[in-house]
Amino acid sequence: MDEPCSRDALRGCLADLARLNRWFRGYRPVLAWLNSIVFARAGRPIHILDVGCGYGDGLRRVEQWATELGVPVVLTGLDLNPDAIAIAQEATPPASGIRWVASDVFAYSPKEPLDVVVSSLFTHHLSEADIVRFIGWMENQAALGWFINDLSRAAVPYYFLQLFTRMAGMHPFVQNDASVSIARAFIPEDWQRICTLAGLRAGDVAIQPFVPARLCVARRKR
Q: What is the largest CA-CA distance in the chain?
A: 49
Rounded to whole angstroms, the Cα distance separating 87 from 144 reads 29
The whole-number pLDDT of residue 1 equals 54
Q: Where are the domains of the chain?
A: 7-153+186-220
The whole-number pLDDT of residue 38 equals 74
pLDDT tens string for the chain (222 positions)? Answer: 556 789 999 999 999 999 999 999 999 999 999 998 876 555 689 999 999 999 999 999 999 999 999 999 999 999 999 999 999 999 999 999 999 999 999 999 998 999 999 999 999 999 999 999 999 999 999 999 999 999 999 999 999 999 999 999 999 999 999 999 999 999 999 999 999 999 999 899 999 999 999 999 999 997
Rounded to whole angstroms, the Cα distance separating 176 from 184 reads 13
Q: How far is CA 156 from CA 29, 140, 152, 179, in A?
A: 20, 37, 10, 10
Task: Collapse the DSSP code of 157 into the 3-class scheme (helix H, G, I; strand E, B; otherwise coil) and give the result.
Answer: helix
User: Which CATH architecture does the domain made up of 7-153+186-220 adopt?
Assistant: 3-Layer(aba) Sandwich (3.40)
Task: Collapse the DSSP code of 150 into the 3-class scheme (helix H, G, I; strand E, B; otherwise coil) and give the result.
Answer: strand
CB 18 within 8 A of CB 57: yes
Please, what is the angle between helix 155-167 and helix 172-183, to 10°? 180
The whole-number pLDDT of residue 5 equals 84
pTM: 0.95
Q: How many residues make up the chain in this entry?
A: 222
